[in-house]
Structure 1
Amino acid sequence: MPVQQASRAIRDALDGLQQEHDLTDVEMLRVLFEHQQDITKYMLRRERHPNDPDKKADEA
């Protein structure tokens, strides 16, 4: 139940931001995709280099 409530709150907030910034659906998807890329980049760095998460994932 908490996840469903959080999901709804996030959707509502995203809808509001999309309207506030007058973004098309494609523009909104692009913003979300870029955010996901940032998150996964740092997740991958921590996975590959747990003792040095600032090191790029493809560095030895």
Structure 2
Amino acid sequence: MRLRPRTMTVQRASNKIRAELDRLQQEHDLTDVEMLRVLLEHQRELTTGLLRAERHPDDPDRKADEE
């Protein structure tokens, strides 16, 4: 089986990100639920920006739900 060229790069990055997230969770003494909330808030911000760019590529300041 041949892997896509970026597969191993993405896996290495994923491992490093998970390790750093674990470290930050311990450093800030966050429960699993608190950590999940932080990650979900970040994900929401990212997806909002992506949705705005998709719906309004020439006007990124426009809200995603605006016509």
User: TM-score band (shorter)?
Assistant: over 0.9
Structure 1 runs (4+) greater than 6 angstroms displaced: none
Amino acid at match of 2:10: V
Gaps of 5+ in 2: 1-7
Gaps of 5+ in 1: none
Using the size of structure 2 for normalisation, the TM-score is 0.87
Using the size of structure 1 for normalisation, the TM-score is 0.97
Determine the structure 2 residue equivalent to 1:42: 49
Percent identity between the two aligned chains? 70
Higher helix proportion:
1
Aligned-pair RMSD on alpha carbons?
0.5
- 1:1-60 counterparts in 2 under 5 A? 1-60=8-67
Bigger relative contact order, structure 1 or 2, given CA contacts below 8 A and separation 6+? 1
